[in-house]
Amino acid sequence: MPSSPTTPADVARALTEHGYLPDDGLATSIFLALSLRRPLLLEGEAGVGKTEVAKVLSRWSGGRLIRLQCYEGIDAAQAVYDWDYSRQLLHLRAAEASGEARDLGTGALEGQLYDERFLLKRALLDAIDHRGDTPPVLLIDEIDRADDEFEAYLLEVLSDYQITIPELGVFTTTVPPTVILTSNRTRDVHDALKRRCLYHWVEHPSFEREVRIVRLRVPHVVEPLARQVAAAVEAMRTKNLYKPPGVAETIDWATALAALGVSELDETTVESTLGAVLKYREDQERVRQQGGIADIVKQAFERGLLHG
Amino acid sequence: MTPRLTRGEQLAVGFARVLRGAGVAVPVGNVIDFVQAVGAVGLEQRDGVYWAGRCTLLHRPEDIPVYDRAFAAFWERHLPAGTTGDEEEEPLKITIATDDGDDNDDPGDGTASDEPTIELRFSASEVLRQKDFGAYDEDELHLAQQLMSQLRFAGAPRPSFRLRRATRAGRPDIRATVRESLRAGGEPIRWRWRDPGERMRRLVLLLDVSGSMEPYARAMLRFVHAAVSGRQRVEAFALGTRLTRVTRELSSHDPDRALRRASERVLDWSGGTRLGECLRRFNDEWGVRGMARGAIVVVLSDGWDRGDPAALAEQMQRLQRIAFRVIWVNPLKVTPGYAPLARGMAAALPYVDHFVEGHSVAAMEELARVIGLPARRREHDAGVASAGTRS
């Protein structure tokens, strides 16, 4: 980043400039993660903007974004490094064809194979062996989907920022990457890993913040509509839905409405664009049932005007 | 000679102690982080200190209310109340040495249940002395333990994402082939192969601990404990008037300790039942997010429910849509002339893949067998009208 931040407010300002509006808690957590050089674990409902944090940090710092999407069964070959076996094989064949193989002998030939040029760096090794002044931003997304074993390995990497490859030696870094981990909490992340990290539980934004987020992310949405959309989403979140809409949905919805050329919410528009906010049939029904849509539009208008 | 602590350090360490006293687990490493964090944000701003503590000392959203209370009290007492002193002074018991005031260890929603519930908390000895033997005598208990070892290996497998070495031609294992070819001077004479391996499916156990289940719940809790401690990828919850996750409490290998800790954690033993509401919370907070996806879900309950049967049916349907297999264990099923009359049971049955007994060790053995069935869902057990919802 251009100059390292000295207060959480600096962080908030910089992130806002780059299209992300953090609240005080998140700004402080990010500030601390940067100044203490610790990984930051973000937990929260889907769609509250956890992954986005890493993206905006990358935009701000100019560091490359390296993303590791976790899934069940992810292992070292997919997360750390692998050898490029096809190229190794070709190399062997070439050595054989040119007669080099005979001159070198098996031992030397094998030595050639485990050279860095045959190494495929995956996300973790890539982030540690970055060889630049600007540390990359390493996003370890949805860590709760990976297996326990992988978590244990990650713990090792994140405590020392070094990776050992038996054939080559130890890879390490002088400037550790900025690490953001996210979790949807489908299971508990192991305590040992949590201890290594700073932790922040990401909440749905407040009404005013959400309005500002919509204005920031979808600039061609006019202020009154942004307020109405935020108010409508806020109303939906209280309706005990399977999946209360997150900020991502709010932005989607505002974008959709803008694309339709809508400048004010009304029942017909809400009805026809409901799929942009609520992605469960049951949720849509629930909102419709309780005489809901008229209700939501009414609330949206009141809330939208209140401070406007 | 002990180094003198700065004011910030003293406060940080003091606050960490208060937090521990209030029931939050705070490792020493995190206290050091907190000291550094306070150093970075300064002591002047209440918000700065608040967030510095929250992101270094806390690791679970459940602890946030406790933290908030502890912080408010601590800030009032030890730091100059600035202009932001609009925080309500809450009467917080900061008792560090005694452990009788640990009502704080279930912050969450507090006791906001609007229904009258009987809240009993059993001490360890009480649980062991009085309750458990109701259903199982000594022999049976012993048998039950054996059963658990059987359960350990049970659970339908599913293809894993990870590939394993295979003897038959599948996907080429270039790594092994390259290694092998070195011997032949780079000629890949013998090809090596890989295949997808197998993994156990996650097992999720939902145990009804309401009053009507009383005679069985204690014995079943042992069953659940054996399942949790014997295998990885098992999750356990207690259903009553509220949903309580007991996986961590039960994961101790020492059964007495595990049962004691679980009993302490579950605040609504032998209270009422709100199955539908509990399942909704399970689905919302854990199941649909991933825990129950492709998993084997076992509900141990007699199906007596004070809530709305339609709500229960709805949640069971949701559960069945994401789970690999839903098993309902009902200890009353064996009762002569039993028909699923309990409204909740009747509502849930259409969404249950296997409906089994749960009154004896033999029944539990049967349960272990059903859990381990390798094939995909079967038709319902005899006696249950086929629901026809499954296509």
Instruction: Write out the residue range of the structural domain in which residue B13 sits.
Output: 7-105
Look at residue B323 and give its three-state secondary structure.
coil
Is the ipTM beyond the 0.85 threshold? no
Comparing CB atoms, the residue among B25, B185, B288 nearest residue A96 is: B185
Mean pLDDT of the B191-214 span: 81
Two tokens, residue A166: 């038996």
B145 with B88, same domain? no
Q: How many percent of chain A have pLDDT more than 70? A: 98
User: Cα(A80)–Cα(A127) distance, rounded to whole angstroms?
Assistant: 10
Instruction: Look over chain B and give the mean of its residue pLDDT values, rounded to a whole number.
Output: 71
Look at residue A83 and give its three-state secondary structure.
strand
Mean pLDDT of the B5-23 span: 82
B193 is a domain residue: yes
B381 is a domain residue: no
B194 with B216, same domain? no
User: Cα(A288)–Cα(B196) distance, rounded to whole angstroms?
Assistant: 46
Q: Lowest-pLDDT range, A43-52, B162-171, B354-363, B378-387?
A: B378-387
- The identity of residue B387, as a single letter, is A
Q: Which residues of A touch B292 (CB under 8 A)?
A: none
- Of residues A252 and B390, more confidence is placed in A252
Q: Which pLDDT band, with edges at 50, 70 and 90, does A256 fall under?
A: very high
Q: Which residues of B touch A95 (CB under 8 A)?
A: 186
Q: Which pLDDT band, with edges at 50, 70 and 90, does B92 fall under?
A: very low
Mean pLDDT of the A68-77 span: 86
- Chain A touched by B288 (CB under 8 Å): yes
B135 with B83, same domain? no
Give the count of domains, chain B: 3
Edge-to-edge strands, sheet with A40-44: A65-69, A137-141, A178-183, A40-44, A198-202
Q: Which residues of A touch B178 (CB under 8 A)?
A: 83, 85, 88-89, 92, 113
B377 is a domain residue: no
Q: For B171-209, give one letter per residue: b (16+ CB within 10 A) or e.
A: eebbbbbbebbbeeebebeeebbbbbeebbbbbbbbbbb
- Chain A touched by B127 (CB under 8 Å): no
The top-scoring range by mean pLDDT among A117-126, B171-180, B358-367 is A117-126
Residue A9 has pLDDT above 60, yes or no: yes
B175 with B92, same domain? no
Mean pLDDT of the A213-223 span: 91
- Of residues B41 and A178, more confidence is placed in A178
Count the residues in chain B: 391
Nearest one of B372, B299, B306 to B331, comparing CA atoms: B299
Distance from CA of A283 to the nearest CA of B (A): 12
User: Cα(A129)–Cα(A108) distance, rounded to whole angstroms?
Assistant: 26
B172 with B288, same domain? no
Q: Are residues B36 and A36, on separate chains, in Cβ contact within 8 Å?
A: yes
pLDDT of residue B289: 80
Q: Which among B55, B84, B192, B291 is the top mutation candidate for probing chain A, defined by the most A β-carbons within 10 Å of its own β-carbon? A: B55
Q: Are residues A201 and B177, on separate chains, in Cβ contact within 8 Å?
A: no
Q: Are residues B290 and A144, on separate chains, in Cβ contact within 8 Å?
A: yes
B195 with B213, same domain? no
Q: Are residues A194 and B59, on separate chains, in Cβ contact within 8 Å?
A: yes
B185 with B232, same domain? no
Q: Are residues A185 and B58, on separate chains, in Cβ contact within 8 Å?
A: no
Mean pLDDT of the A180-204 span: 88
Q: Are residues A186 and B318, on separate chains, in Cβ contact within 8 Å?
A: no
Runs of H (alpha helix) within A8-163: 8-17, 24-36, 50-61, 76-79, 85-98, 100-113, 123-128, 148-160
pLDDT of residue A64: 94
User: Cα(B54)–Cα(B34) distance, rounded to whole angstroms?
Assistant: 9
B218 is a domain residue: yes
Q: Which residues of A touch B107 (CB under 8 A)?
A: none
- By CA distance, what is B288's nearest residue in A? A186
B390 is a domain residue: no
Q: Which pLDDT band, with edges at 50, 70 and 90, does A306 fall under?
A: low
Comparing CB atoms, the residue among B27, B55, B199 nearest residue A199 is: B55
pLDDT of residue B103: 40
B221 with B367, same domain? yes
Q: Which pLDDT band, with edges at 50, 70 and 90, does A125 fall under?
A: very high
B249 with B362, same domain? yes
Q: Which residues of B touch A32 (CB under 8 A)?
A: 37, 40-41, 52, 55-56
- Chain A touched by B213 (CB under 8 Å): no
Q: Which among A193, A199, A281 is the top mutation candidate for probing chain B, defined by the most B β-carbons within 10 Å of its own β-carbon? A: A199
pLDDT of residue B220: 78
Residue A122 has pLDDT above 60, yes or no: yes
Q: Are residues A24 and B51, on separate chains, in Cβ contact within 8 Å?
A: yes
Q: For A9-37, give one letter per residue: b (16+ CB within 10 A) or e.
A: ebbbebbbeeebbbeebbbbbbbbbbbbe
Crossing angle for the helix pair A24-36 and A8-17, to the nearest 10 degrees: 110
Distance from CA of A219 to the nearest CA of B (A): 31
Distance from CA of B181 to the nearest CA of A (A): 8
Comparing CB atoms, the residue among B30, B40, B188 nearest residue A35 is: B40
Distance from CA of B362 to the nearest CA of A (A): 32
Which 311-350 residues of chain B touch chain A by CB within 8 A? Answer: 314, 318
pLDDT of residue B109: 39
pLDDT, one tens digit per residue, over B118-169 is 233 332 323 322 333 344 555 555 555 555 545 544 556 676 666 777 777 7
B389 is a domain residue: no
B121 is a domain residue: no
B380 is a domain residue: no
3-state helix, strand, coil in chain A (%, to 5): 55, 15, 30
Residue with tokens 């030595």: A111
One DSSP character per residue, B255-271 reads: HHHHHHHHHHH-TTTTS
pLDDT, one tens digit per residue, over B323-369 is 888 999 887 776 666 666 677 788 888 888 888 877 766 677 777 77
Distance from CA of B317 to the nearest CA of A (A): 12
- pTM higher than 0.80: no
Instruction: Provide the 10 A C-beta neighbour count for residue B216.
Output: 26
Radius of gyration of chain A from its Cα atoms, rounded to whole angstroms: 25
Instruction: Provide the 10 A C-beta neighbour count for residue A208.
Output: 11
B211 with B230, same domain? yes
The CATH number linked to B264 is 3.40.50.410
Mean pLDDT of the A258-276 span: 90
| Pairing, β A40-44 against β A178-183 | parallel
The top-scoring range by mean pLDDT among B4-8, B38-42, B147-151, B370-374 is B38-42
B169 with B25, same domain? no
Distance from CA of A110 to the nearest CA of B (A): 7
φ, ψ for residue A218, nearest 5 deg: -125, 75
Q: Are residues B174 and A43, on separate chains, in Cβ contact within 8 Å?
A: no
B193 with B278, same domain? no
- Chain A touched by B84 (CB under 8 Å): no
